[in-house]
Copies of this chain bind each other. A is one copy, B any other.
Amino acid sequence: METMGRHIIAELWGCAVDKLNNLQYIEQVFIDAAHLAGAEVVKVAFHLFAPQGISGVVIISESHLTIHSFPEHGYASIDVYTCGVRMDPNVAVSYIAKSLEAKSSEMIELPRGMGEIQIRTRRALKGLSSS
């Protein structure tokens, strides 16, 4: 298997607070996001903290998706990392941002497994969820 990978680091702000604290919802969003991107899901592990906040991961054959949610700040910290050239991690990140109703976001893409780590692309969006 090739070491080459694409790792998107996304900071989502202004998310729907109730969704950021809904374990079943977030777990399903992440599984669906992996499938939408064409990934094969290998392991799923999510945890709801007291009094609030969720951490979780979906391990895929092509690497992983993770979330750490902070409902009290409307913030979710997202990673989507895919190996190979077949998959586009942006598909998964966009679906997650939309599902959490993020009002703004910042995303960077890092190449992995290719030598020096550089920020390849940077996107900042406002009004992702304007409806």
Contacts and interface: CB of A to CB of B under 8 A. Distances in A.
Interface of A: 1, 3, 5, 7, 9, 11, 42-47, 49, 53, 55-57, 59, 61, 63-64, 66, 68, 70, 72-73, 75, 77, 79, 81, 83, 106, 108, 110, 112-113, 115-117, 119, 122, 124
Contact of A66 (B46, B64, B110, B117): B64
Given A11-B113, A106-B117, A5 B63 contact: no
Per DSSP, chain A at the interface is: strand
This protein's copies in its complex? 2
Contacts of A122: 117
Contact of A57 (B49, B57, B72, B112): B57
Given A9-B110, A110-B9, A57 B64 contact: yes
B77 A5 contact: yes
7 contacts: A3-B75, A47-B59, A63-B77, A66-B66, A68-B81, A70-B113, A108-B117
A131 B75 CA distance: 45
